């Protein structure tokens, strides 16, 4: 059998096309190669630039700097941010390239701040709030970034009872009352209801309607687990808090009283949304009732208001008996994310 001869014409045609493409690509790349090479970039570096920088951005490379290669070779480099990286780098030439990239990639306008590992760490935190950036950077009492954010977001970088504001009553179940937010002197909820003896054992037996219904539901639910819960102190008027706080100050002095008692107008009890349960004493923490509340109260819309190890945020010592109604959905978030009401409010409401 005779072998078939390959036709030369198609091969010649393909060869010509290939030569044209090589020539065309080479011709197009020469101006770029020349402009970057003239700045001192090696052929390898030029290839890296051409691969990672948009053509329109070549003009921003005006001098040789190996840090530019480090920037565009970074794992987190984004081509669309190239000009921002350069602008920020020019102001922070002594800073870590990875910090610069992290800060720019955050999409916050942080050009006025010096690049630092602290700033780079801050913008990666879930509860970072842009408007608080300067205060985060100024707060030096903590090194832990998450704690810095929690404290500043909660205004606890200020001295307690300074920089105060009137609480926003329109926040409903989320109204924030603490050492920075206070209620009007004569504020009193218009839907207070009195708890019956089945649910109450104290003189201050009123809660707002929704909170009261939730509290009774929680008490009934606890009974099914052989846990007995009763309110010991709920709503307190402004005038009541005046006499209570003055009594504590007279007994222990103002500094000590402020650790466990709120000043008039700054007491959460005035909202009608909180309850002191069973025993108002630190010994309550070791009871089965306290354990049940810690594990189950959120299911009924209540949160442990002054938790352990959060004293620098709430301003109060650990109170295992003090629970605050916020609603089931929000209580679950606060429980799951281990937040105080201050932290939740700053990020999810005030922000």
Other CB atoms within 10 A of residue 310 CB: 21
For residue 4, give the DSSP letter. Answer: P
Cβ burial of 135 (10 Å; 0-12, 13-18, 19+) is: middle
Lookup result for tokens 């072998």: 3
Yes or no: say if 273 and 325 are a contact pair by the CB < 8 Å rule.
yes
Q: Both tokens of residue 187?
A: 């504020």
Q: 196 vs 64, 160, 348, CA distance in Å? A: 80, 37, 35
Q: Is 80 an active-site residue? A: no
Other CB atoms within 10 A of residue 192 CB: 16
DSSP string across 180-242: SEE--TT---TTEEEPPTTTEEEEE-EEEHHHHHHHHHHHHHHHTTT----EEE----HHHHH
Strands (E), 79-199: 165-166, 181-182, 192-194
In angstroms, the CA 324 to CA 341 distance is: 9
Q: How far is CA 77 from the centre of its chain?
A: 25
Yes or no: say if 204 and 235 are a contact pair by the CB < 8 Å rule.
yes
Yes or no: say if 298 and 265 are a contact pair by the CB < 8 Å rule.
no
Catalytic pick among 268, 319, 342, 343: 319
217: left (phi over 0), alpha (psi -120 to 50) or beta: alpha
Nearest Cα neighbor of 312 from 220, 192, 198, 179 is 179
Show which residues are catalytic.
Answer: 319
């Amino acid at each position: 059998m005779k072998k078939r001869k390959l036709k030369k014409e198609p091969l010649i045609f393909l060869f010509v096309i290939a030569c044209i493409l090589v020539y065309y690509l080479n011709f197009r790349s020469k101006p770029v190669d020349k402009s970057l090479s003239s700045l001192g970039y090696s052929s390898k570096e030029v290839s890296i630039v051409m691969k990672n920088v948009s053509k329109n951005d070549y003009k921003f490379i005006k001098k040789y700097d190996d840090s530019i290669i480090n920037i565009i070779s970074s794992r987190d480099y984004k081509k669309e941010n190239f000009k921002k990286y350069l602008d920020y780098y020019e102001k922070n030439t002594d800073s870590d390239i990875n910090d610069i990239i992290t800060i720019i990639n955050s999409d916050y306008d942080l050009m006025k701040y010096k690049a630092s590992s602290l700033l780079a760490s801050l913008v990666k935190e879930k509860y970072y709030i842009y408007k608080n950036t300067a205060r985060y950077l100024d707060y030096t009492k903590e090194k832990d970034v998450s704690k810095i954010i929690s404290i500043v977001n909660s205004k606890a970088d200020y001295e307690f009872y300074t920089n105060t504001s009137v609480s926003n009553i329109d926040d409903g179940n989320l109204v924030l009352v603490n050492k920075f937010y206070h209620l009007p002197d004569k504020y009193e909820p218009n839907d207070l209801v009195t708890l019956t003896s089945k649910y109450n054992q104290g003189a201050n037996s009123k809660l707002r309607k929704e909170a009261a219904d939730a509290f009774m539901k929680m008490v009934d639910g606890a009974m099914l687990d052989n846990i007995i819960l009763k309110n010991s102190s709920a709503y307190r008027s402004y005038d009541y808090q005046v006499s209570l706080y003055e009594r504590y100050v007279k007994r222990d002095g103002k500094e000590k009283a402020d650790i466990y008692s709120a000043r008039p107008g700054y007491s959460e009890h005035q909202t009608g949304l909180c309850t002191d349960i069973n025993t108002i004493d630190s010994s309550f923490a070791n009871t089965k009732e306290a354990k049940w509340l810690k594990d189950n109260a959120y299911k009924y819309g209540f949160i442990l208001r002054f938790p352990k190890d959060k004293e620098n945020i709430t301003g109060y010592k650990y109170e295992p008996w003090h629970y605050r109604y916020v609603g089931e959905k929000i209580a679950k978030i606060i429980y799951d994310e281990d937040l105080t009401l201050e932290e939740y409010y700053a990020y999810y409401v005030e922000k």
